[in-house]
Amino acid sequence: MEIKLKNVGYTYHLNSPMAFTALKNITLTFPAHQLTAIIGKTGSGKSTLIKLLNGLEIPTSGEVVIGNQVIDKYTKSKQLNLVRKNVGMVFQFSENQLFSETVLKDVMFGPLNFGKSEQEAVELAKFWLAKVGIDKDLFEQAPFELSGGQMRRVALAGVLACEPKVLVLDEPGVGLDYVSNQNLMSLLKKLQSQFGLTIIMVTHSMENVAEFADHVVVMKNGAIVRQTKPIELFSTDDSKVELPEAAQFYLKLMKNHQIENELPINKTELINRLLKQFKPNGGTHE
Amino acid sequence: MLRKSKAYRISILALFIAIIIVQNFVPLFGYIPAGPLSLTTIHITVIIAAILLGPVDGGIVGGVWGILSFIRAFTAPTSPVQPLVFTNPIISILPRILIGVVAGYLFIGLTKTKLKPAISLAITAIFGSLTNAFLVLGMIAMFYRTPAVAHAYGVSDPSLIIKVLMTAVGTNSIPEMILAAVVVPIICLPLLKHSKIK
Amino acid sequence: MNNFIFGQYIPGKSLIYRLNPRLKLIASVLLIIASFINHNLLGFIILLGICGVIIQVSQVGWIFFIKGTQFFIYMIFLTSILQILFSNGGTIYWHYGIFTISSFGLQIASLAFLRFLVAIVILTVYLMTTNPAEIAQTIQGICYPLKFVGVNLDDIGLVTAIALRFMPTLTEEVNNLRNAQKSRGVNFEKCSIIKRIKSNIAILVPLFMSVFRRAEQLAATMILRGYTDGKHRTHIRQSNWSKFDSLILIVVLLIFGLILSLNINF
């Protein structure tokens, strides 16, 4: 499912002394079945933008088109439930939202709210818990007894069990160690191809963008500065964005060595490039 | 040990008071409107405070809720009954203090029995909720059988107030009690497990 | 819901912000008491006039102020309508079934409405223009007599300061949790009572879990920074009482006296 924003603006506390414009006239398309990353500094409007994508906030000007449903400032809150069914949202530190007595019940909460029967909800919950890699033995445990990484997976399953067509994630990997982050990101990538999910994620990790995103949107002061493919964003150093570590490393190398000046954006590419350039016999090595 | 320190007691007492304030001021959170009265979830905070910190601190947290309901009745009423009844501190403050005191002592007593912690917690929650319900509704029945209060409850005659209050027990007090009995064990069990109080 | 302002501090620089916080509390309480002892129309005109001046001087903006308090004013209005329709006595103007409009009812209802209106305006302005640290200090001041029954005043100050400091944090947390559960299909505004209660569990449980985590972190930090028993704390910010504060106090006392005399004469 595709999401389009047309001239969208958002102002907090409209008509008050605390009025604050978070988004200015944004026009943007999130293509279907792709993984789009949104990057930008704290306060650039990323979080506000994603709240518009599932009707948690209503734009104060312009319109958000989700599939064939249009949300603008006249939209009534009743109509938003369908939007929320189609667009699932995983919040930052999502492990903190678990509340039920057991893991299984927590995952069933969403489907039950969206009108599934008890039986269907159990099946959905079991299916998605398995997909995110939670062991059957843990289904009847209290969620508070799991590890942080496991709790985050349970929270993800809780959203997936509502069967959304679009999945929005706010910093999915924040606070996880390197391996857990890689596993989570590969899982998302797998879900994207297996179920045709459209994924939109806010992140501060340029490595995640370079390695996993199909599409990247750069935000600054409530506006879109660039939207392109990660390889185009990171392959030259125009100092507008922070580069992934692989590219930064290569850039330092370029200062002292005569090597190809297109930057590799992730680790695999970096290794391949180095192997090619620094062959023990010959190559460009002086 | 951290949980035994005075710093922890002060921090958690302060945070409980902050929760009470937030429950009073964030709409649809501490008070859920339901007819002429509103259901509350704030007694749960007081009961949990009493279980974790004892009857005195439970009473303090309850007292803060009472003072806020008292001020609220003058300045930010959520139902037509509040300005008429809760402007009396005996109804708005005293029962709330007693929730904490009753729940605190009851839980201490129950820990000496052989009951499972989950059961003790649920019993404490039930009696804590009942303290609030009986004192508030009982005092309204005793002191406020006036035409204005009757009308704020939507009945024509003060003699019908008792009937309304009995209905309120069914529509408000019992749901509040069940809510507490469900939520209190979910929240307290993991904590009691860690701190090894049984 | 976005315009809910009761109890919220809004940073500003107008005259009212610069008054001594204790004076502000004393003045607010005096004016509220004045409105509750008043039975006199002229008295209410004076009090409402003062409310108007206070809102104007506070510079928070009229539209914003009205939007923020309209829910409570509506509730009090509803209470007053009930009192009008159901109270009986004096001259009866209209009667239908159990409904009566009488002079007695109109009098009681309008008195109650005006009193609560004054109280709402004054308390809202007080909370909007007094920052949490100042409120904490004032509360500590009020609790001073408790010192003689063995309560540690510094602990009260500390507890109040921490509670007020975490109020906005917890409010934000409640909103985040509410958003998270909304995304899982909960509709908090339009649903049956049982569902509303259930959806509140989904906020309460995680909120408490996070409060316990925070309390532990906070306690550890306090201990690491040398907190032992809470004695001998000093305040960086000492509130000064200026000549202007005395002037305002005199004015408020005069108003209070005026309202009192208006009611004794009648």
**Which of B6, B27, B179 lies closest to C4 in CB terms?**
B27
Q: What is the pLDDT of residue A49?
A: 92
Segment C63-87 shows an average pLDDT of 78
Contact between A46 and A16 under an 8 Å Cβ cutoff? The reply is no
Examine the pLDDT at B80 and tell me if it is beyond 90: no
B22 and C170 in contact by Cβ < 8 A?
A: yes
Examine the pLDDT at B145 and tell me if it is beyond 70: yes
How far does Cα A155 stand from its chain's mean position?
15
Q: Which residues in chain C have their CB less than 8 angstroms from residue A12's CB?
A: 2
The residue with greater pLDDT, C3 or A6, is A6
Q: What is the pLDDT of residue C2?
A: 41
CA distance B46 to chain A (A): 19
Which chains does B contact via 3+ CB–CB distances below 8 A? A, C
Chain B neighbours among C 91-130 (CB < 8 Å)? Answer: 98, 108, 112, 116, 119-120, 123-124
List, in sequence order, every beta strand (DSSP E) within chain A.
3-12, 20-30, 35-40, 61-66, 69-71, 87-90, 166-170, 198-202, 215-220, 223-228
Q: What is the pLDDT of residue C3?
A: 43
Give the CA count within 13 Å in the CB-facing half-sphere of C120: 26
SS3 A195: helix
- DSSP assigned state of A192: H
Contact between B103 and B58 under an 8 Å Cβ cutoff? The reply is yes
C206 and A97 in contact by Cβ < 8 A?
A: yes
Q: Which of A94-98, B141-145, B172-176 has the lowest mean pLDDT?
A: B141-145
CA distance C236 to chain A (A): 28
Q: What is the pLDDT of residue C94?
A: 77
**A interface with C, Cβ–Cβ below 8 Å:** 12-18, 51, 54, 56, 77-78, 81, 84-85, 88-89, 91, 94, 96-99, 109-110, 113-114, 144, 158-159, 162
Give the CA count within 13 Å in the CB-facing half-sphere of A276: 9
Contact between C2 and A16 under an 8 Å Cβ cutoff? The reply is no
Terminal-residue alpha carbon distance, chain B: 17
C209 reaches A (C-beta below 8 A): yes
* Alpha carbon distance C207, B44 (integer Å): 12
Token representation of residue C153? 């005043």
pLDDT band at C190 (very low <50, low <70, confident <90, very high): low
A101 and B190 in contact by Cβ < 8 A?
A: no
Give C127's contacts (C-beta < 8 A, 6+ positions apart): C6, C7, C8, C9
Segment C153-174 shows an average pLDDT of 84
pLDDT band at B61 (very low <50, low <70, confident <90, very high): very high
**Which of C183, C201, C209 lies closest to A144 in CB terms?**
C209
ipTM value, please give it: 0.85
C234 reaches A (C-beta below 8 A): no
- Give the number of residues written for chain A: 286
Please state the three-class secondary structure of chain B as a single string: CHHHCHHHHHHHHHHHHHHHHHHHHCCCCCEEEECCEEEECHHHHHHHHHHHHCHHHHHHHHHHHHHHHHHHHHHCCCCCCHHHHCCCHHHHCHHHHHHHHHHHHHHHHHHCCCCCHHHHHHHHHHHHHHHHHHHHHHHHHHHCCCHHHHHHCCCCCHHHHHHHHHHHHHHHHHHHHHHHHHHHHHHHHHHHHHHCCC
Examine the pLDDT at B197 and tell me if it is beyond 60: no
* Alpha carbon distance C99, A193 (integer Å): 68
Q: Which residues in chain A have their CB less than 8 angstroms from residue B190's CB?
A: 142, 144-145
Q: Which of C204, C217, C224 to substitute to test the interface with B, most B CBs within 10 Å?
A: C204
* Alpha carbon distance C168, A190 (integer Å): 39
Predicted TM-score (pTM) of the model is: 0.77
DSSP chain C: -TT--TT------SHHHHS-HHHHHHHHHHHHHHHHH---HHHHHHHHHHHHHHHHHHTS-HHHHHHHHHHHHHHHHHHHHHHHHH---SSEEEEETTEEEEHHHHHHHHHHHHHHHHHHHHHHHHHHHS-HHHHHHHHHHHTGGGGGGT--HHHHHHHHHHHHHHHHHHHHHHHHHHHHHHHTT--SSSS-HHHHHHHHHHHHHHHHHHHHHHHHHHHHHHHHTT-SSS-S---S-PPP--HHHHHHHHHHHHHHHHHHHHHHH-
Query: Which residue in B has a C-alpha nearest to residue A99's C-alpha?
Result: B186
Return the closest-CA partner of residue B149 out of B57, B62, B71, B85.
B85
Chain B neighbours among C 187-226 (CB < 8 Å)? Answer: 188-189, 193-194, 196-197, 200-201, 203-205, 207-209, 211-212, 214-216, 218-220, 222-223
B2 and C219 in contact by Cβ < 8 A?
A: yes
**Which of B19, B21, B84 lies closest to C211 in CB terms?**
B19
Examine the pLDDT at C196 and tell me if it is beyond 90: no
pLDDT under 50: residue ranges of chain A = 285-286
Query: Which residue in C has a C-alpha nearest to residue B182's C-alpha?
Result: C201
| Residue-averaged pLDDT of chain C | 80
Query: Which residue in B has a C-alpha nearest to residue C32's C-alpha?
Result: B74
**Which of B13, B29, B148 lies closest to C159 in CB terms?**
B13
C201 and B182 in contact by Cβ < 8 A?
A: yes
Return the closest-CA partner of residue C3 out of A25, A19, A125, A186.
A19
Task: Please write the tens of the pLDDT for every residue from B1-15.
Answer: 677 788 888 899 999
C200 and B6 in contact by Cβ < 8 A?
A: no
Q: What is the pLDDT of residue B125?
A: 94
A56 and C185 in contact by Cβ < 8 A?
A: no
B190 and A145 in contact by Cβ < 8 A?
A: yes
Count Cβ atoms within 10 A of the Cβ of residue B159 and give its class: 0-12 exposed, 13-18 middle, 19 or more buried.
exposed
Query: Which residue in C has a C-alpha nearest to residue A56's C-alpha?
Result: C179
CA distance C128 to chain A (A): 12
Contact between B55 and B98 under an 8 Å Cβ cutoff? The reply is no
Kind of pairing, strands A69-71 and C99-102? unpaired
Task: Please write the tens of the pLDDT for every residue from C12-41.
Answer: 888 888 888 888 888 998 998 888 888 888
pLDDT band at C98 (very low <50, low <70, confident <90, very high): low
Q: What is the pLDDT of residue A282?
A: 53
Give A12's contacts (C-beta < 8 A, 6+ positions apart): A18, A19, A20, A21, A22, A48, C2
Q: What is the pLDDT of residue C87?
A: 67
Residue C213 identity: R
Token representation of residue B110? 């129950």
Contact between A204 and A92 under an 8 Å Cβ cutoff? The reply is no
C209 and A97 in contact by Cβ < 8 A?
A: no
Q: Which residues in chain C have their CB less than 8 angstroms from residue B44's CB?
A: 204
Examine the pLDDT at C230 and tell me if it is beyond 60: no
**Which of C116, C162, C200 lies closest to B14 in CB terms?**
C162
Q: Which residues in chain A have their CB less than 8 angstroms from residue C63's CB?
A: 15
pLDDT band at B94 (very low <50, low <70, confident <90, very high): very high
Task: Please write the tens of the pLDDT for every residue from B13-35.
Answer: 999 999 998 888 777 788 877 66
Give A70's contacts (C-beta < 8 A, 6+ positions apart): A63, A64
The structure tokens 């402007």 sit at B87
